[in-house]
Chain A
Amino acid sequence: MDVEERLEEIAQKLAKRVDTKSCFQCGSCVSACPVSRITDGELYHPRRIVRATLEGEASKLLEQPSLWLCTSCHACLEHCPQKVPVSELVQDLQNLASELGVTPDDIVSEVENIIATGWALAPSESANKRRVELGLPPIPLEEKGKKDLHTIAKATELLSRLKKIKEHKAALKAADEAIQEGGEA
């Protein structure tokens, strides 16, 4: 099955789960969204994400790193007069992106951090050293917790998903290099 077919299948599944058709583009989500406010609507724009989905152009959004700026605060959903679950749509798009292996590198490493340490941004050794110097207890990295996290990640197929993403990225990179080499040659 090629990517386009897969996209179509996933888009249909998504349309069944999230009803965006009643969106009348009023912009409540944009003015409610903390990320839109901070980025002045430049980087992350929920109304345009819904619009693109309605226009059947969701695939164009998938490789954009801005898709991952959503904080999942659900303010868009709460403020929507048509009850369009914008944040759920974004989550679905994120899932779709990861399924296709186009998750940005920083998100991948963040997920790996969580599985390995329980922290999205794991405290470094130097940070813990500084804490001790300042009279604060070091942040523990429990062995048992780490083991549990690994079990969960495995059971939820997060590990295999990560593996696929990495493979996909590696393949892309190899292809890029091949093209470049070909170009040079």
Chain B
Amino acid sequence: MVAAIAKAKKPIEEKPRIGVFVCECGRNIAGVVDCNALAEGAAKLDGVVATKVNKFTCADPGQEEIKRIVKEEKLDRVVVAACTPRMHEPTFRRTTEDAGLNQFFFEMANIRDQGTWCHASDPEGCQVKAADLIASAVAKAHHLEPLEVLKVPVTHTALVIGGGVSGIHAALDIADAGYKVYLVERSPTIGGIMALLDKTFPTLDCSICILGPKMAEAARHPNIELITNAEVTRVEGFVGNFKVQVNQRPRYVDIDKCNSCGDCQTVCPVLVPNNFDANLGWRHAIYIPYPQAVPAAYMIDPDHCLGLSPKECMMCYDACNKAGQEAILPDDTEKIHEFDIGAIIVATGYEPYDPTPITEYGYGVYPNVITAMELERLINAAGPTEGKVIRPSDEAKPHSFAFIQCVGSRDERSNIYCSGFCCMYTIKNALLLHEKYPDAEITIYYMDIRTNFKDYEEFYQRARRAGIRFQQGRPAEITEDPKTHNLWVRAEDMATGKPTKREFEMVILSTAAVPSRGTEDLARVLNVPVGPSGFYMEAHPKLKPVDAATEGVFFCGSAQGPKDIPASVAQGSAAAARALRIITQDEWEIEPIVAVVNPELCRSATGKCGICVSRCAYGAITADPGTAAYVTPAKCHGCGTCVAECPANAITQMHFTDAQIMDQIRALLKDNPEDKIFAMLCNWCSYAGADLAGISRYNYPTNVRGIRVMCSGRMSDQFILEAFRLGAGMVLMSGCRLTETGSDCHYITGNVWAEKRANRMSAYLERIGMDPRRFRLEWVSAAEGDKWATVTTEMAEQLKEMGRDFIVEENERLRPEIEKRITRLTKREKPKPKPKAKAKTKSAKVKA
């Protein structure tokens, strides 16, 4: 591997022959800018020997044309000006390779997602920007080096986190394919929320009857190791090579010996509300969540048991021994498992929203206002009332029911998203109530009814025909008759425009689906992002719906966003197929964008430094004093933080070298730099966020010129200073969110170092007298296209405010100082025989 990189580093002697292929993308690009003019402009750039405009470069004819022209014109670099590299870089790298070149002799100019899509209102400005972006890609192409992809070995196992219906299906598919699966579930049983439901829509088949067999199958599958009562606490490594730690809480019952006879619970003197029954029924301190639980074994709830340590009550223990099972383990302790895993599937699901904060509906105050989940348990034959729906206030059978939709959904005060399946589960529950109590009056209060999948609208029709009343209008409040505990629901009837007030004996709140408790913690453990709604964020909303941005991690089911059962099952199988793509291989290719140390420049070779070691979040670098630092390629994730932090400029990041980036900056700022905002964007969040601004067609000013690096940690001081030296109006550093609650950085701590560096840079620029508005650090996540547009618009307005003359004057005034600073920084490249002494004088200088 190292040899491959060393070989790759060999410079190319002759002048490169670059081909530029401009894509019209139908009207997506050509509808805003003149692609022929872009090609003509590109033809004048140094090193460009061929240009071509295509309608769709990514389509087969477009790719064939690239291959043909590479051969005819003897090209050795390919530049495609089209969409975002996050979309088609892999496609064109393959084309480049098929054309007989090293696949890394390819570079992309993003003139669609960060060009025409967000600048339709300013075609002239967009034309100039697109030309600059192409010049920047060509500038980088000059410095491209051939690289060999790195191959890492793959562990042929998968981890599935969460044993709901989605996780069970993912685990079964992988296990059936013949690979080992560890299925980790936090609660004492698998089955998730589906196991607690009564019937399912739109077929009204019994939920546990169809899920139960799947749960049992997962438990007895020879390739599945089921670990319940357990949580994933640590994940290290990378695709194909994860090391996972799972902490399993003690169950105090041997699941192999327990035959779930129930003798233990009959003697247990403790009764507490059963959370598996939405706290409507009771359970003992030794209990089984529900009869079909898997594993089919009891467990002791240590928070309520009277005496495990010291052993006090022990009545269950005696009963179990008397029955001859000897299954109870009073001295059970937490177990810590460690597994080697090839791919990880996250299926942690959702939980129902607690409607207590929506005080106008009186949940928790009026006893007869219940949630849909509580109704599920009441109506369920296996529930606490054996299927009888009764009022909590008096245990009487109600004669009228109201359902209120969107409780905690579509509400700025709680969750703005639509939870998707509540319309359907409410219609289902209304039909079940109607079946049970045909005389009952049932009203559903709704804002919109959403029944947008196969056979769903028919189900809605069935409910209307059954006589269920649908009233459009969101109720403002519920009040209670204190004597009867009946409820008054006030809502406008949108059909008539009149405010209405109706009396009901029971009100059911159709509560939102929110991310499972612990979603954020697990996101941090896995180093994957969550979106604004709190659910896990997929790598691409359309084309990678079950992939995490971190390779080898996948999402399925409601963990990724609220989903009904068929969609959760489909995603479970999709995630399994995506994971199998990896774990069925012996080796997996990873990007060779790793950091490489030049031992001749490294300070550690002649003394003691180790800064890079402390900056690496993956422990990929070793630097013993007296030996040059060494980066283990398979461990390096390619963020480039060490590169930017190295005080001796001794580290290079493959495919994102200083030389490449510096020339990109120079190309972008060649003309009218004072009018431009130079932006550096991290690949995972900010670049994706800027793409999203394009996808969402948010318009922002055309004077933003961006470059892509993998992580904000790579954004060196030199880049900022060079941009200002060239006269840039403003510089923006943008990376993954870093807040008080944690970092969204895809490289764990890259943005932490970026922030420190940016703060130092701000202080320096202010000290030399630069307007502080001209340098800015912003966190923009991949979901924040609107924020990207807002930030850049705001900056463009400020730039206008400051005025061109002001910028030009300030640049003239500060250039000597900035140049001095650049010289000082680049001088470090030379090896220092006495790094310690140098460090001292430097700090003394700063003080002075």
Contacts and interface: CB of A to CB of B under 8 A. Distances in A.
Interface in A43-78: 45, 47-48, 75
A37 B499 CA distance: 6
A12 interface: no
Contact of A32 (B413, B447, B477): B477
Nearest to A48: B497
A28 B499 contact: no
Contacts of A37: 490, 499, 501
A24 interface: yes
Contacts of B413: 81, 83
A29 B497 contact: no
B407 to A, nearest CB: 10
B207 to A, nearest CB: 30
Contacts of B490: 31-32, 37
Interface string A141-176: 000000000000000000000000000000000000
B412 A36 contact: no
A105 interface: no
A31 B412 contact: no
Nearest to B474: A26
A110 interface: no
A27 interface: yes
B421 to A, nearest CB: 19
Given A27-B492, A31-B490, A81-B412, A40 B473 contact: no
Contacts of A75: 476
Nearest to A27: B492
Interface string B491-519: 11110111111000000000000000000
Given A24-B447, A31-B475, A81 B499 contact: no
Interface string A17-33: 00000101111111111
B473 A27 contact: yes
A47 B494 CA distance: 10
Interface string B403-414: 000100011110
Contacts of A24: 410, 447
Contact of B499 (A33, A48, A79): A33
Given A37-B499, A41-B492, A41-B499, A27 B474 contact: yes
B812 interface: no
Nearest to B405: A26
Nearest to B411: A81
Contact of B474 (A33, A48, A81): A81
Interface string A115-138: 000000000000000000000000
Contacts of B492: 27-28, 30-31, 36, 41, 47
Nearest to A45: B497
A48 B496 CA distance: 12
Contacts of A28: 474-476, 491-492
Interface in B417-450: 447
A82 interface: yes
B59 to A, nearest CB: 39
B499 A36 contact: yes
A100 B492 CA distance: 32
A18 to B, nearest CB: 15
B260 to A, nearest CB: 46
B499 A82 contact: no
A41 B501 CA distance: 12
B835 to A, nearest CB: 58
A82 B413 CA distance: 8
Interface string A85-113: 00000000000000000000000000000
Pick the most buried of B406, B413, B497: most chain A CB atoms within 10 A of its CB: B497
A33 B498 CA distance: 11
Nearest to B448: A24
B497 A26 contact: no
B32 to A, nearest CB: 27
A149 to B, nearest CB: 36
A105 B491 CA distance: 33
B124 interface: no
B331 interface: no
B455 interface: no
A25 B498 contact: no
A185 B425 CA distance: 72
B360 interface: yes
A31 B473 contact: yes
Pick the most buried of B406, B473, B496: most chain A CB atoms within 10 A of its CB: B473
B413 to A, nearest CB: 7
A51 to B, nearest CB: 11
Contacts of B498: 40-41
Contacts of A79: 360, 476-477
B412 A82 contact: yes
Pick the most buried of A22, A41, A48, A75: most chain B CB atoms within 10 A of its CB: A41
B613 to A, nearest CB: 50
A34 to B, nearest CB: 10
Given A26-B473, A82-B412, A31 B447 contact: no
Given A40-B499, A45-B497, A79-B476, A31 B411 contact: no
A47 B499 CA distance: 11
A45 B360 CA distance: 21
Contacts of B474: 26-28, 31, 81
A83 B497 contact: no
Contact of A31 (B406, B410, B496, B499): B499
A181 B491 CA distance: 50
B793 to A, nearest CB: 16
Contacts of A41: 492, 496-499
Pick the most buried of A27, A29, A36, A37: most chain B CB atoms within 10 A of its CB: A27
Interface string B470-492: 00111111000000000000111
B412 A27 contact: no
Interface in B333-361: 360
Nearest to B473: A27
Contacts of A36: 492, 499
A37 B501 CA distance: 9
Contacts of A26: 447, 473-474
Interface in B365-422: 406, 410-413
B410 A81 contact: yes
A185 to B, nearest CB: 45
Pick the most buried of A30, A37, A40, A41: most chain B CB atoms within 10 A of its CB: A30
Nearest to B410: A81
B414 to A, nearest CB: 8
A165 B475 CA distance: 39
Contacts of A47: 492, 497
A30 B499 contact: yes
Given A31-B491, A41-B492, A83 B412 contact: yes
Pick the most buried of B475, B476, B491, B500: most chain A CB atoms within 10 A of its CB: B476
A79 B410 CA distance: 13
Contact of B494 (A22, A27, A40, A82): A27
Interface in B743-796: none
Contacts of B475: 28, 31
Contacts of A25: 494
Contacts of B410: 24, 81
A37 B411 CA distance: 23
A133 to B, nearest CB: 41
Nearest to A33: B499
Nearest to A24: B447
A37 B493 CA distance: 12
A81 B512 CA distance: 14
Contacts of B499: 30-31, 33, 36-37, 40-41
17 contacts: A24-B447, A26-B447, A26-B474, A27-B472, A27-B474, A27-B492, A31-B499, A31-B500, A41-B496, A41-B497, A75-B476, A79-B360, A81-B410, A81-B411, A81-B474, A82-B411, A83-B412
Interface of B: 360, 406, 410-413, 447, 472-477, 490-494, 496-501
In the complex, the 10 A-B pairs of residues with the closest C-beta atoms, listed nearest first: A27-B492, A32-B476, A30-B492, A26-B474, A27-B473, A81-B411, A31-B476, A83-B412, A79-B476, A41-B498
